[in-house]
Structure 1
């Protein structure tokens, strides 16, 4: 995740290839219990690796909360703590709310709530749908529902077109689970304009 989201040292296709390799290296039961995190006690904090760019941090958190496995939050990431390698990454927790990134904390809480309320994000199948340059799109689905995630890990707006008729049988608009916006389907095609370092988490 560091190479793709923080350092931009690989594109979406390469990132997806790494994920495929890792999933293929373990039984499904292990993948679904995998301990996933973006910061830890012996590595530079993720926000520091992003050079303080909270947009990149949020994009990685969206992925963390919608991917296969068990998402883990290293203390302080949720309030924007930074730190270089060990021991700098183990700074004392910042209890002073005036020094915390409260907007980032609110975002973390929103993404945690989204995962809790959608079991498909915990136990659903994982399907890559679209990789182009730095845009990565994938689905989590079960017998009950499907969620499609679109991530734009670039500094420019991107347009993504998805053939929705191939993904679902029911009709009607599609809703974003993060901001509540709805999107109409035009002749089976969903066209999305994703801003730089933007994302969509769509309920189909």
Structure 2
């Protein structure tokens, strides 16, 4: 989450940063929005979702030793509670969907700011729409037009 909010830069030595300063969120609002998007991808692509401890609540940090902070189980901030609830919802949804557990994957749109893909198993199709930009994006699903706000997503589950 520290990368998502800009508290750590991709070209920065995260290990050194963890030893020399306290690493937080950076832009907290952006960090949590992008972390949610990461969890959407993680829970809807093929394979078993892997969550490094603390990612379900958006714990900040750098590389070792800073990535091994004590886990927070209580006194979560509002943003941490919201992210935890969203991750829980996504994983429960995944567990209830044969398409997300076993389905084949098809890419429909891969662009700098937009991503659309689906998973299909038997008669179940799950389609995921991601707006990876800082502006509204219009999408269409089976004739239904809708707008996604910046760094948000929508998932459709169809049984035919």
Q: Normalized against structure 2, the TM-score is what?
A: 0.77
- The answer to whether structure 1 residue 137 and structure 2 residue 116 are counterparts is yes
Cα drift, residue 130 of structure 1: 1.5
Q: 1:134-187 deviations in whole A, cap 9, x for unaligned? A: 10000100112101000011100001234xxxxxxxxxxxxxxxxxxxxxxxxx
CA distance in 2, matches of 1:103, 1:111: 12
- The answer to whether structure 1 residue 48 and structure 2 residue 26 are counterparts is no
- The answer to whether structure 1 residue 77 and structure 2 residue 55 are counterparts is yes
CA distance in 2, matches of 1:94, 1:72: 19
Cα drift, residue 107 of structure 1: 0.9
1:197 corresponds in structure 2 to 151
SS in 2 for 1:48: coil
Runs of 4+ deviating beyond 2 Å: 95-100
SS in 2 for 1:78: coil
Cα drift, residue 104 of structure 1: 1.1
Cα drift, residue 98 of structure 1: 4.0
The answer to whether the Cα contact below 8 Å between 2:127 and 2:156 also exists between their aligned partners in 1 is: yes
CA distance in 2, matches of 1:79, 1:72: 14
- The answer to whether structure 1 residue 146 and structure 2 residue 125 are counterparts is yes
SS in 2 for 1:149: strand
Q: Normalized against structure 1, the TM-score is what?
A: 0.61
Give the paired residue count.
Answer: 133
The two structures, once aligned, show a CA RMSD in angstroms of: 1.6
CA change 1:114–1:89 in 2 (3 A) is same
Which one of the candidate residues 63, 71, 87 is aligned to 1:93? 71
- The answer to whether structure 1 residue 112 and structure 2 residue 91 are counterparts is yes
Q: 1:8-53 deviations in whole A, cap 9, x for unaligned? A: xxxxxxxxxxxxxxxxxxxxxxxxxxxxxxxxxxxxxxx1111161
SS in 2 for 1:81: coil
| Structure 2 residue ranges without an equivalent (≥5) | 6-29
